[in-house]
Amino acid sequence: MNKFFIHTLKVIFIVTLSMQNLFSEESFIPEPPSINAEYYLLKDAVSGRILAEQGADERVEPASITKVMTGYVVADQIDKGFISGDEEVLISEDCWRRGGSKMFIKEGTRVLVSDLIKGMVIQSGNDASCALAEHTAGSEEGFVDLMMVYARDLGLQNTNFTNVWGGPDEGHYSSARDLALLSQRLIEKFPDHYAIYKEKYFTYNNIKQRNRNSLLWQDDSIDGMKTGHTESAGYCLVSSGLRNETRLIAVTLKSSSEKQRLTDNRRLLDYGFRYFRTKKILSKFTSIKVEEVWGGEQETVSLESAEDVYLTLSPRDFKRVEPVLELEDYLQAPLQKGQVVGKVTLSLDGEMLKSVDLISSRGVEPLGFFGRAWSNIKLLAYRFLTDEES
């Protein structure tokens, strides 16, 4: 390969979305606030950028935050058509007797799956969690096995479940990072299910109970998710909110009190929303650059990003992002639609933020024998002249 391509073809291009005035001043972002919780993580739910963390991979008892996974499994089973929200569940004695937080279902009665989901999410009902597990997988033990299948599929590396409701057990654990990822995937994949997390009250069996996530009353931008508490787990909370088209997820584990876990979560969210925004920088299948094609029936082809690209930055930093287009080689026919021909790299102050594949927007058929031969001669001459200049 000649010297030109040893150094790789790099073409600087301007992305029209907030990518001007690259000379502006660097933004100042302070360190995250002091947090009482022993373990915490703050991340953007779209770009996945971690904005603050401490001990995020430590294995910790998640208490009732476990029910986020229980809900995820149930939502996916409904989505796949294995169960339905309109089905009635016969309540067993075991679920009726389950201690702790209750929806107050009764043994021998039949309850809609949709009501059990609300009882689990809003009222944090251990009895409702038990009933959903038995109905979905035949037993709580079978449902736990199912939870672990989902945990592996989601890539939760520091998570192990032994029950569906969050009861204390030394083998029952997760981490702030895993819980944030689980929450992120639930929000992305099951928005209708996630919408239940912002409901402030649910009444069943003539008993009205409030959502245990008091942040819902403090800030309208916060629309979920789940509290947890046992003596060994301390006070835990996963919360999420949406401001300025930016969705953040905060996880705090082992806060010292119920009031403190609210303060911890609120501090993280306020910090994230104050200093960061998430924006779409590149759109999938939108032309970035038109490039010459050698030896093809069409002389040019549009090049596109293979995926949507979102960045989470200080609002002032977006205009300082440097986008670079890198081609693997000169484009020569034949080309296939969607063929990877290079990469688009986005950097800030020399630090790479994101790199995605650059693809051909359409297929390009080659010329006939003589046309290809003449095109190859021109390309050889072009390469020779380029090498001489470099």
What region, left, alpha or beta, does residue 139 occupy, with left being phi > 0 and alpha being psi -120 to 50 degrees? beta
Per annotation, catalytic residue among 43, 47, 67, 102: 67
How does strand 39-44 pair with strand 309-313?
unpaired
Contacts of 370 (CB under 8 A, 6+ apart): none
Contact (Cβ atoms closer than 8 angstroms) between residue 273 and residue 267: no
Specify whether 226 is catalytic: no
Contacts of 219 (CB under 8 A, 6+ apart): 241, 266, 269
Contact (Cβ atoms closer than 8 angstroms) between residue 104 and residue 204: yes
Specify whether 124 is catalytic: yes
Q: What span, in angstroms and rounded, lies between the C-alpha atoms of 354 and 23?
A: 20
Burial of 158 (C-beta count, 10 Å sphere; 0-12/13-18/19+): middle
Which of 163, 176, 156 is CA-nearest to residue 133?
Answer: 163
Per annotation, catalytic residue among 18, 64, 175, 305: 64
Specify whether 67 is catalytic: yes
Per annotation, catalytic residue among 47, 92, 101, 124: 124
Contacts of 265 (CB under 8 A, 6+ apart): 215, 237, 239, 250, 252
How far from the centroid of its chain's Cα atoms is residue 22's Cα?
A: 29
Contact (Cβ atoms closer than 8 angstroms) between residue 337 and residue 362: yes
Give catalytic residue positions.
64, 67, 124
